[in-house]
Amino acid sequence: MSPDYQSVLEAIQNEVVPLRRTGAVANYIPELAKVNPDKFGMHLQTIDGQGFSVGDSGESFSIQSISKVFALAMVVSCVGEKIFDRVGVEPSGSSFNSLVQLEYEKGIPRNPLINAGAMVVCDVLIEQLQKPKKEILDFIRILANNKKICYNENVAASENKFGFRNAALANFLKSFGNIHNNVNDVLDLYFHICSIEMSCKDLAAAFLLFANHGKVISADKALLTKSQTKRLNAVMQTCGFYDEAGEFSFTVGLPGKSGVGGGIVALHPHRYAVATWGPRLNARGNSVMGMRALELLTTKLGTSIF
């Protein structure tokens, strides 16, 4: 018998409500600071097509670094595992925008889910795609089965205007020969994918790809092989939460990815994908309410991948 997911989500919402005022929004991107910080939403989508929601699960928000998983999936579908000649698969253990680590690693980002690694992925996508921004957006729309998903141009412009450290990372990568295209073109694509807006419902639907052996359920089409899906899930498990990935594995026990817009998505292979949104972040850049909600989810269900 299937769990009563709706009752579980409602119980979780009640338990995380007291955390509404804990943490702070990511104000270093001014557009993100305009979001109501007390929002909370959660949506769980099962492999067999059932959806369960609480709170603001249908409201779109800036997915930020969650987009790096989609970009990575797309680049793997284009070039396979050759991407890992230019970017590693080890947890960073440092800030997601660390210049020091990139210098120590001689221009090879530690993994594709930190900023420098995602820039290398964007560089490859520019080489592989005719219209990168359009094709990436189309890819995500197919995964989420929602043609209305779009970039937020105001967020992209805000990131570009204040993205001095990201510009430094891109130029640093260029100096090591690990950016092949024009730095401004790579940054433009990077800032745009981070500005994509999706709801918890959209994100959970899109992440079913990784819970379903790389097949899009709505289109009954394989975009990744089983082996590629396994490897991407492993990268999410070990690298998906900045320097809090170990804590997420310890408390939640699912592969997933967070973003400084307050979103978190996680998946249980062969069962479900689940997304949360709470704009207030902890000191490591992860949603306070989202981290707690997902810990409660696997605790109440009594299941994780371990």
Domains, the chain, in order of start with CATH, read 5-301 (3.40.710.10)
Average pLDDT over all residues of the chain: 94
Q: What is the pLDDT of residue 137?
A: 97
Mean per-residue pLDDT, 163-173? 93
Whole-number pLDDT of residue 93:
64
Work out the average pLDDT over 170-181.
96
pLDDT tens figures, 177-236: 999 999 999 999 999 999 999 999 999 999 999 999 999 987 778 899 999 999 999 999
The reported pLDDT for the residue numbered 97 is 62
Answer yes or no: is pLDDT of 274 > 70.
yes
Give which of 269, 266, 268 is closest to 292, Cα–Cα: 266
**HSE-up (13 A, CA, CB side) for residue 59:** 17
pLDDT at residue number 294: 98
Instruction: Please say if the pLDDT value at position 134 is more than 70.
Output: yes
27-76: per-residue pLDDT in tens? 888 889 999 999 999 999 999 999 999 999 999 999 999 999 999 999 99
Q: Are 275 and 42 in contact (CB under 8 A)?
A: yes
**Residue 266 pLDDT level (bands cut at 50, 70, 90):** very high
Q: What is the pLDDT of residue 94?
A: 62
Cα separation, 18 vs 176, in Å, equals 47
Band of pLDDT at residue 242, cut at 50, 70 and 90:
confident
pLDDT tier for residue 96 given thresholds of 50, 70 and 90: low
Expressed in angstroms, the distance from the first to the final Cα of the chain is 21
pTM metric for this prediction = 0.96
Report pLDDT digits (tens) over 3-14: 999 999 999 999
